[in-house]
Amino acid sequence: MVKIEIQEAKAEDLPAIFSLYAQPDIDNGKVLSAEEAQKIFTRIKSYPNYRIFVAKAKGEILGTFALLIMDNLAHMGAPSGIVEEVAVHPNWQGKEIGKQMMEFAMNRCRKMGCYKLALSSNLKREAAHRFYESLGFQKHGYSFLVALAGGGNKR
């Protein structure tokens, strides 16, 4: 197992993050322009508990994920966590980078008093499903979405 350090992403990490998102099974290899990415990254940092993280070993970014911890009025006010945008460099997949990232997210949610940590995964990503299940994630209910016209960043 490669020991990694997980830290909050910085603006200078964006090129490495987008090289991870350029993988064919993530948005068909397409990524935002540097200018668009910087605007969105700055906006994300203004949210109270929404952060992008990077996993590093020897100064190299090997993986990334986003974690949102949101407040709730239901569940007796207990917050919940949502993991999104999980990506590991293809050369480092299968070397427990993703496992360490998800353990970091679970521990952060526990410390914040979350009652759950959720994520969604495309039905066709069966290897990812096996990976998440190996970490204790369980299939729960259904995930629904509606594709919205435009779907891009209009802010």
The answer to whether position 87 is within a domain reads yes
Residue 113 lies in a domain: yes
CATH code at position 39: 3.40.630.30
- Domain membership of residue 153 (yes or no) is no
Confirm whether 35 is domain-assigned.
yes
Structural domain harbouring 129: 5-134
Distance CA 34, CA 39 (A): 9
Round to whole Å and give the CA distance between 51 and 9: 8
Q: Could you list the pLDDT tens digit for every one of the 155 residues in the chain? A: 788 999 999 999 999 999 998 887 777 777 888 899 999 999 999 999 999 999 999 999 999 999 999 999 999 999 999 999 999 999 999 999 999 999 999 999 999 999 999 998 877 888 888 888 888 888 887 778 788 876 665 55
Residue 139 lies in a domain: no
- Confidence at residue 41, expressed as pLDDT on a 0 to 100 scale: 94
Looking at the structure of the chain, the number of domains it has is 1
Does 149 map to a domain? no
Q: Rounded to two decimals, what is the model's pTM?
A: 0.88
Handedness of CA 55, 69, 111, 115 (dihedral sign): negative
